[in-house]
Chains A and B, each alone.
Chain A
Amino acid sequence: MMKKKSMDYLVYVAVIVISVLFMYPIFILFMIAFVPAKYTVQSAYPSLYPRGFTLQYFEQAFSINLFGPLLKSLEVAFMVGGIAIAIGIPAAYGLSKLKPSWAGGIATLLFLSNMMPSITIAIPIAVEFLELGLYDTAISLALAQELVVLPLSIFILLGAFQALPKDLEAQARVDGAGLLRTIYTVLTPLAKAGVAATFLIAWMMSWDEFTFAIFLSPIHPTLPIIIYENITRGNILATSAFALIVTLPVIVLAVVLSKYLKGEYLAGGLNG
C-alpha cells in the first residue's frame, strides 16, 4: 500500500512540472503584452514574473489591421471545415463499406497525398490559380489547405462510422430509407461526436496554416501572415498584444470543446 501512495505523489509532481512547462510560454506572452518593455524584452534579463502593468501595447495592437485578416481567416477556416465534412462524409461512408483490402489501398493513397509537402504543391498551384483568376481568394486558399486536412478528416470520420452498430444501416434500409437518407439522417447524426471533432480539427488546422497562406494569399493575408509581417517589421510589442487577442478565443474554444479533441478521433480508422 505504501508503494501506491508514493506513486500517487510522483504522479502529482509530474503533473505539476509538466503543467508549469506547458503554461509558462503563454504566461510569457501575457507578460510581454502587459508589462512595460523595460522589464521584458528590453531588459538584459527579463523578469520572470510581472513587475508592472501597461495597456500601451494593447492600444497599439488595435492600430494593426485586424478586421480584414480576421474576416479572411474566419472565412477560410469555415470553408475548410465545411469542405472536410462535405467531401469527407461520403468518402468515409464509402470506405467503411468497401472490402478491407480495397479500403486500405485507397486510404493509403489519400494519406500519400497528405505527405506531399505544402511547398511542393504551393508554387504550381499558385500558377494554376492565377490562370483561373482565383489567386488570393478565400476559396483558393481553402482548397489548398484542405489537402492537408481532408485525409485526416476522412480517417476520423471513418473511425466514427465504424464505431456504429452494423445492423443499424440495414434496419434503416428495410424501413424504406434511401441510401443517401440513411447516410445523412440516420448515420451522420449518430456519429456526431466524430463529425464535430472533424470540423473542429479542420477549422483549427486552417486557422494555424502558414505555408499555403504566405504563397497563395499575400495581398489579403490571413492572421498568421499579419503576425509574421509585424514581427519582421520590428513591431514586437504591439504584436504580442495582437497575438494574444488572436490566440485567446481559440484557446477558450479548444478547452471548452476538448471532449471532441480526443486522440481516439485522430486515430479514427485504426479501430476497424
Chain B
Amino acid sequence: MPLVKEKYIPLFFIVPALAYEAYFSFYPTFSAVYGSFLTASGKFSTVNYKELVGLGVYHAITNTVVVTIGALALQFLLGFAIASILIRSFRGRNTFSALLMIPFATATVVAAYIFSNVFSPVGGYANSLLSFFGMASVNWNGAGSSFIINVLQLVVSDSWKNTPIVALILLAGMTAIPKDLYDAAAVDGAGWFSRLIHITIPNLIGFIVIALVIRGVSEFNIFAIALLIFPHKLLTTLVYGLFSLAAKPYLSFAGASVLLAFILVFVAIVLVLRKVFAAKEAY
C-alpha cells in the first residue's frame, strides 16, 4: 500500500514553487496593502491615500495608463509586422532575426541611456535627424515641452527594447496556424483583411494574451527609462513617483497598492477580452 495516492504525487512537486511564491510575493504584497491603511502610529485610516492625492497621484495614474496603452499599441503593430515578415522564407531571414536579438539583449538602463541621448533638446540625435531632413528641432523634454511629445519619446524608447519579444511570441503563434486554413480561405476568395480578422487573429488569441500580460504588466511598472529620460520628473509614472516616496513607508505602501489595483484591473480586462474573442472563434 503506497503512502499517498499516485494522483496526488504531482502536487508535491509544485509545493516548493508555490511556497516560494507565497512567501516572497503574496505575503509581502498583503503586508504592503495592509500597511497602506495604517498611520505611522499604527491607527487604521485612509490618510495615506488622501496624501497621495495631494501629491498628484491622479497625474501619475493618467501618465502610466497613457504610456502603457501607447507602448502596447506600438509594440503590437510593429511586432505583428515583424512576425508577418519572419513567417515568410527569404534570403537573410536568419540574419534579420538575429539582429532583432540586439535590442532584446541590451539592458533597460543602457537602452534608457541611449534614448536620453537621442531625445535630448541639445545634442540629441532625434533633432539631428530632423535637421538632416530640413525640419525644425523639437523640444523633447526641456521646460515647456508638450505632454504628447513626452509620452511619444517614452513609448518609442521602451518599444525599441521590447518589440522583439512581442514579435517572437506572435511569430510562435503564427507558425502554429495550419496553412490549409489560409488555402481554404483563398479558395473562398477571402482578401488579406478578411483572412486577418477571421483566421490570423482568432488563432493567435492565446499568444496575444500571453504577450499582452507579459508586456502590459511591465509597462505599468515602467521606471528606469522614465527616470533617465526625465530626470526632472517631467513625466512621473506610478513607479517613478513611488521611487521618490520610498523614504516614507506607509505612503509608499499606498502608492504600491494603487499600482497593484491597476495591474489587476488590466489583467482582468485582458482575460475578459480573451473570453469574448474565444467565443467568436467558436462560430
Contact = CB atoms under 8 A, between A and B. Distances in A.
B104 interface: yes
Contacts of B24: 121, 125, 143-144, 146-147
B127 interface: yes
Nearest to A107: B14
A247 B106 contact: yes
B14 A106 contact: yes
Given A116-B260, A207-B107, A231-B228, A123 B14 contact: no
A42 B160 CA distance: 24
A32 B102 contact: no
A35 to B, nearest CB: 12
Contacts of B131: 45
Nearest to A45: B128
B90 A8 contact: yes
Contact of B206 (A28, A116, A151, A267): A267
Give the interface SS of chain A, mostly helix, strand, loop or mixed: helix
A26 B165 contact: no
B143 interface: no
Contacts, number: 272
A143 B81 CA distance: 37
B10 A15 contact: no
B113 A231 contact: yes
A18 B260 CA distance: 35
Contact of B101 (A45, A207, A258): A258
Contact of A29 (B97, B100, B114, B123): B114
Interface in A101-132: 106, 109-111, 113-121, 123-125, 128
Nearest to A252: B105
A87 B18 CA distance: 10
A4 B110 CA distance: 41
Given A48-B125, A124-B32, A270-B206, A117 B21 contact: no
Contacts of B168: 261-263, 266
A115 B263 contact: yes
Given A22-B160, A46-B125, A87 B110 contact: no
A59 interface: no
Nearest to A223: B107
B272 interface: no
B88, B104, B125, B207 pick with most chain A CB within 10 angstroms: B125
A48 B118 CA distance: 11
Contact of B14 (A26, A91, A227): A91
Interface string B227-260: 1100100000001001100100100110011011
Interface in B96-126: 96-111, 113-118, 120, 122-125
Interface stretch (B42-50, B55-63, B177-185, B218-226): B218-226
A163 interface: no
Nearest to B105: A254
B96 A90 contact: no
A265 B7 CA distance: 27
Task: Assign chain B's interface to a size class.
Answer: 35 or more
A1 interface: no
B95 to A, nearest CB: 9
Contact of B114 (A25, A93, A179): A25
Contact of A119 (B108, B118, B123, B242): B242
Nearest to A94: B13
Interface residues of A, number: 92
Interface in A42-67: 42-48
B172 interface: yes
B41 interface: no
Contact of A128 (B28, B29, B129, B252): B28
A261 B104 contact: yes
A45 B127 contact: yes
Given A263-B172, A270-B207, A98 B11 contact: yes
A195 B180 CA distance: 32
Contacts of A95: 10, 14
17 contacts: A19-B99, A22-B103, A26-B114, A40-B117, A41-B117, A48-B128, A48-B129, A87-B16, A110-B21, A113-B21, A208-B109, A227-B109, A231-B228, A250-B105, A254-B104, A263-B168, A270-B207
Given A124-B31, A224-B108, A266-B210, 7 more contacts: A25-B115, A91-B14, A113-B21, A117-B217, A119-B223, A123-B32, A124-B35
Interface of A: 8, 11-12, 14-15, 18-19, 22-23, 25-26, 28-29, 32, 40-48, 87-88, 90-91, 93-98, 106, 109-111, 113-121, 123-125, 128, 143-144, 146-147, 150-152, 154, 179, 204, 207-208, 210-211, 214-215, 223-224, 227-228, 231-232, 236, 239-240, 243, 246-247, 250-251, 253-255, 258, 261-264, 266-267, 270-271
